[in-house]
Amino acid sequence: MNGTVTVLDKGAVRIHSYMSPADTFHTTTQLIETPARIVAVDAQLLPAYADEVVAYAKTLGKPLDRLIVTHAHPDHYNGAARFGLPVHALPQVREQIIARGDSRLPTGQVIPLADFTPTVALTPVTEIIDGVPFVFEAVSGGEAADELLVSLPDQGVLVAQDLVYNDVHLYLGNNDIIGWERALDVLAARSGYDTILAGHGLPTGPEIYADVRRYLADARELLGDDGEAYKKAIVERYPSLVGPFIIDIANRSLFPAAL
């Protein structure tokens, strides 16, 4: 396996957090194992890494029930077809995915839109799955225009995905630092959640909110009108973080005149 899996035992629930290698900036897929089934959250950038997730899930001896896609960024949905499951997403996220169209990998391979288009509209609600409450919430603004937040209150687990990065450079291409800070403040004010699942990086705790907020504050300070200068400055300030090429991807949106 190229990726790594972190297993968290939460009583009636076990979390299997798959993290891709650094070549795809430690993108995560969360496998939430309930007493009788597995709920998958997000589907990887490379289909090969999605295959690793599915192969690992099969070793758990329970059926994969559904795939939830949290937001409309290809590193979280490209591999959806490999799961062979109904794809659940917020209606607005589905619309954004459709608007992006076919996905092109760095290798040049094209993944057609039909392979990852969500088929089930997810409504913000509390759903009981095998006796486990799953709370689905819609969050607007931040790393993406719209994101799904999944919480398991009985287990103290918050599936934050790309509202939180852990030891990985942030993607700022949505150009909404203020919205991201606002979302973090709301999450930080919640009590009872000691496990935070990041969209990039290993599972962590609520201390991650201050880390992400600090990076956002530094980004606001360092962002000017030169993408290369910004990248150099933020990498120098955070030399240990993975994925500086995320900054290049974001800069295409932040500094389009430079292209």
Per-residue pLDDT tens for 175-211?
999 999 999 999 999 999 999 999 999 999 999 999 9
pLDDT top residue among 191 and 258 = 191
List the structure tokens of 73. Answer: 């960024």
pLDDT at 225: 87
223 in a structural domain:
yes
How many folded domains does the chain comprise?
1
Residue 197 lies in a domain: yes
d(CA 119, CA 128): 21
Q: Is 259 a domain residue?
A: no
Band of the pLDDT at 258, cuts 50, 70, 90? low
**CA–CA distances in Å: residue 218 to residues 161, 189, 212, 213, 239:** 21, 22, 10, 9, 14
pLDDT in tens, 102-113: 999 988 899 999
Quick one: which of 189, 250, 207 has its CA closest to 198?
207
Q: How far is the C-alpha of 247 from the C-alpha of 36, rounded, in Å?
A: 41
Segments forming the whole domain that contains residue 15:
4-254
Instruction: Indicate the range of 31-35, 103-107, 129-133 predicted with least confidence.
Output: 103-107
Closest CA to 150 of 106, 204, 109, 193: 193
pLDDT tens string 60-88: 999 999 999 999 999 999 999 999 999 99
Q: CA–CA separation, 31 vs 180, rounded Å?
A: 25
82 belongs to a structural domain? yes
pLDDT of residue 106: 82
Q: Hey, what are 13's tokens?
A: 């629930």
Read out DSSP for 81-139?
Answer: GGG-SPEEE-HHHHHHHHHH-SEE-TTS-EE-GGGT---EEPPSSEEEETTEEEEEEEE
Buried-state track 72-102, b at ≥16 Cβ within 10 A, e below 16: bbbbbbbbbbbbebebbbbebbbebbeeeee
**Cβ(53)–Cβ(81) under 8 Å?**
no
- pLDDT confidence of residue 27: 98
Q: Is 14 a residue whose pLDDT tops 80?
A: yes
- What gap in Å lies between CA 254 and CA 250, rounded to an integer? 6
Structure confidence at residue 257 (pLDDT): 67
Specify the CATH number for the domain of residue 184: 3.60.15.10
Q: Which residues contact 134 (CB under 8 A, 6 or more apart)?
A: 32, 39, 126, 127, 128, 150, 151, 152
Read off the pLDDT of residues 208-256 as tens digits, 9 standing for 90 and up: 999 999 999 999 999 988 999 999 999 999 999 999 999 999 999 998 7
Measured CA to CA, the distance from residue 192 to residue 143 in angstroms comes to 24
Residue 132 has a pLDDT of: 97
CA distances (Å), 127 to each of 72, 98, 137, 151, 156, in order?
A: 23, 26, 11, 11, 16
Residue 42 has pLDDT above 70, yes or no: yes
